């Protein structure tokens, strides 16, 4: 398995890094556009039912667009992490540290993995809340729909934007570290 990943990365390096970067662009850029352009625009709709319906629909479209790229991001991440040999440079097969600097880079990979996991879980939670809001809207329960959507806009999307930008910065650090 490891050899397959190393060989795949060696043969398709440019494509894999490109897919990783474009996935980050679409996921993080999509959230920034929704939060700072669409959200402001939707808030100008005075009819609360229509406003909430448009918000739920916009988020549905965003989540449908970014989900495949979330998967591409982790697949390319694994290919890069193994293909670039971070673990092999840091540890011997017994798990003993052989190079402190390489070990710090390998730990940085773990930080990116943790960031991806938190972002993906947060995305899953947002999808769940959005679906609940849609159901509440169909039942005419505007209060519940508002409660479900408000947290997404106020905290959940901003948290993922900050984490995404952090992951991009760490990516640049990694790229220039070896
Ligand atoms: C799942 C865990 C992740 C791992 C193991 C990982 C690993 C890496 C590695 C090794 C590089 C350097 C590639 C090279 O040297 O050519 C990189 C670059 C990059 N990563 Fe990740 N990454 C992960 C998650 C993420 C996430 C969540 C984002 C953003 C949402 C992201 C955005 C980027 C970007 C934009 C670059 C390009 C930086 C540059 O070209 O200077 N990564 N990543």
Yes or no: say if 80 and 24 are a contact pair by the CB < 8 Å rule. Answer: no
Token pair of 80 as six digits: 């890069």
Distance 25 CA to ligand 1 centre (A): 11
Q: What does the pLDDT read at residue 1?
A: 85
Q: What is the number of domains present in the chain? A: 1
Q: Which residues pair with 91 in a beta bridge?
A: 97
Residue range 41-95, pLDDT digits in tens: 999 999 999 999 999 999 999 999 999 999 999 999 999 999 999 999 999 999 9
Residues 18-39: b if buried by 16+ CB within 10 A, e if exposed? ebbeebbebbbebbeebbeebb
Cα–Cα distance measured from residue 60 to residue 20, given in angstroms and rounded to the nearest whole number: 23
Distance 171 CA to ligand 1 centre (A): 4
81 lines ligand 1 (CB under 6 A): yes
Cα–Cα distance measured from residue 37 to residue 137, given in angstroms and rounded to the nearest whole number: 23
Domain range for 153: 2-175
Closest-CA residue, ligand 1 atom 16, reads 175
The residue with tokens 């993922």 is: 160
Q: Atom of ligand 1 at shortest distance to CA of 84?
A: 10
Cα–chain center distance at 12 = 23
Evaluate if residue 178 carries a pLDDT over 90: no
The whole model's pTM is what? 0.94
Closest-CA residue, ligand 1 atom 28, reads 167
């Amino acid at each position: 398995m490891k050899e397959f990943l190393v060989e795949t990365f060696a043969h398709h390096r440019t494509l894999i890094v490109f897919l990783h970067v474009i996935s980050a662009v679409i996921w993080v850029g999509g959230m920034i556009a929704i939060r700072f352009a669409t959200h402001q625009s939707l808030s100008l709709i005075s009819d609360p039912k229509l406003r909430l319906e448009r918000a739920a629909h916009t988020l549905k479209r965003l989540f449908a667009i970014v989900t495949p790229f979330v998967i591409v991001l982790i697949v390319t991440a694994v290919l890069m992490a193994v293909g670039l040999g971070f673990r092999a440079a840091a540890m011997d097969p017994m798990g003993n540290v052989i190079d402190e600097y390489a070990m710090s880079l390998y730990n940085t990979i773990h930080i990116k993995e943790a960031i991806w996991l938190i972002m993906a879980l947060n995305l899953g939670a947002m999808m769940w809340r959005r679906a609940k809001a849609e159901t509440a809207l169909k039942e005419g329960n505007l209060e519940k729909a508002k409660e479900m959507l408000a947290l997404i806009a106020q905290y959940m999307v901003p948290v993922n934007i900050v984490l995404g930008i952090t992951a991009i910065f760490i990516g640049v650090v990694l790229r220039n570290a070896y």
